[in-house]
Structure 1
């Protein structure tokens, strides 16, 4: 009798597991696709000069087997202090893959990198950030124009990135071209000639980035998802002892302006969610935190879309 009860109980557990595994997850929130389609080295700027063509390449990630005709797009931008990095950086590859498996289309883009020294000179940082932001806006315009080609919803284009990529996402959504250009000491003629028309952004994913002027948050109501380490010494979470306004400053200002936003703080962690920041080796534990940040982001975006 006891053996029979054990057998029945075991069978019920197996059935529950089978049922749970067979139930579909929630698109855009959960992993619902087993595989992705990846197209490499496409371009979002057909007018780029020969010397700059590499700066305008992107890799496109799509869920394999997806028949949806209108999907949200996340444009991912890598970190590297506006001096280093590319669309194949580990972070943006990881997030592009996991969000594509949730049903998003993801484009990991290159952008122009600074030829000066933005890591040590604030003026160079501003200029590098300004030009990179123009490239992000150009990418948004490209995907709006080609929405049908890539089966994306032109009204659901999200900008996201880590470190420098977070800067770009925030600045592209919230800064006015003239204000940013003048702050970066760009000549007025160049501001006018290089300016890309502003297009509304559906949401911003800011992973340990910052904004140069909190007043710019008054320019839009774009939802912001921020993730930051409390001990980030490279891009501090607050303005204290820094020329940058980090994620905590952004969160508080956004709350005051009634901008939809959320913030996840990793207490005790530094840049890139590492215990001790190392730009050459992030480690598997940091990558697991990147995946946690992705799920946190997916949950919030799902709530917006729902």
Structure 2
């Protein structure tokens, strides 16, 4: 009888733990937000249980513009953390402009690859803007504050959100679809960069506060820059050097000898830093420049200098 009672108690405890975990998981609703080039684009809206008007974090997955999915389990901790903190999360599809390269015998030249990449980044930005419009159209119904929309992305998604913020600051043609005067409240980039075909990125207006995560041994997205005649990627370290001169608020979290793992690991290991960024920089308007340099003894010394061909090879093969 004692055995049965102990078994009953154990079952009850497990049930309570399970129910508690299930209750903490955010509720998700899926919407079709656009259809482009014959492709249906969906977004998942994760609802925070916090009452009243809330901020929203729009997330773009990684995958080198050839793959990836909006509901990858690797992002669950991040989404659940944000909803617990009182933020809604919208994780979106976007067109994968380089996917055709993996579905054919295409062997583009370096020049052709640059053109394909430029188009891939631009159409991803277009899709982010379309998703933003969808959120704005539903802001009242979803209780989202239009002035507290933060964009966040991993790898290719991080490139897209940085590119979108740069396009918006420069009043670029792609950004004209957004309401006049609209600005994002912040940007969180997990191993991102800006792609330019006309030299270093320009900033007609100062960007929103940006949080960068990057390792200086990242061989897939440049930590500094990778360019040929001004065409290429300008990474987190390069952008921070620009922001120092422009007096732009940022938080740069860099890991010495860190690899492209920084595209994902901060979404599990650096939630406290992200909380502080959202609280201090986005909500409280802190205007400061922080750099957190981490030297992880678990990381061996690795190369930290790569050229354009190295990055192309690391992402798409020889």
Question: Is the shorter-chain TM-score for this pair beyond 0.5, marking a shared fold?
Answer: yes
The answer to whether residue 98 in structure 2 is matched with residue 117 in structure 1 is: no
Match of 1:4 in 2: none
Q: CA deviation at 1:98?
A: 1.4
Query: Counting strand residues as a fraction of each chain, which structure ranks higher?
Result: 2
Shift of 1:238: 0.1
How many residue pairs were aligned? Answer: 245
Change over 3 Å in CA distance of 1:49–1:300 after alignment to 2: closer
Contact 2:215–2:259 (CA under 8 A) maintained in structure 1: yes
> TM-score, with normalisation over the residues of structure 1?
0.72
Instruction: Please say if 1:41 is aligned against 2:26.
Output: no
Say if 2:42 is the partner of 1:76. no
Measured in 1, the distance between the counterparts of 2:270 and 2:202 equals 25
Which of 228, 239, 242 pairs up with 2:225? 239
- Structure 2: how far apart are the matches of 1:272 and 1:208? 8
Quote the RMSD (CA, aligned, Å). Answer: 2.8
In structure 1, the gaps of 5 or more residues are: 1-32, 182-190, 275-285
Q: Does 1:250 align with 2:233?
A: no
Distance, in Å, in 2 between the alignment partners of 1:232 and 1:78 is: 18
1:168 corresponds to which of 137, 156, 160: 160
1:149 corresponds to: 141
Unaligned runs of at least 5 residues, structure 2: 1-21, 103-107, 285-318
For 1:156 and 1:147, the matched residues in 2 are separated by 11
Aligned mate of 1:92, from 71, 75, 78: 75
What does residue 201 of structure 1 align with?
184
SS at match of 1:126: helix
Greater than 6 Å deviation, 4+ residue runs: 177-181
Aligned equivalents of 1:224, 1:43: Cα separation in 2: 29
Distance 2:162 2:85 in 1: 23
The answer as to whether partners of 1:239 and 1:249 remain within 8 angstroms in 2 is yes
How far apart, CA to CA, are the structure 2 residues paired with 1:165 and 1:91? 14
Distance 1:149 1:78 in 2: 26
Q: In the alignment, what sits opposite 2:194?
A: 211
User: Contact between 1:117 and 1:125, CA under 8 Å: does it hold in 2?
Assistant: no
In structure 2, the CA distance between the partners of 1:246 and 1:90, relative to structure 1 (3 Å rule), is farther
Shift of 1:272: 2.5
Match of 1:299 among 276, 280, 285: 276
Quote the residue 2:307 is aligned against.
Answer: none
Supply the distance in 2 between the matched residues of 1:249 and 1:218 (Cα, whole angstroms).
17
What is the CA-CA distance between 1:43 and the residue it aligns to?
2.1
Q: Does 1:221 align with 2:207?
A: yes
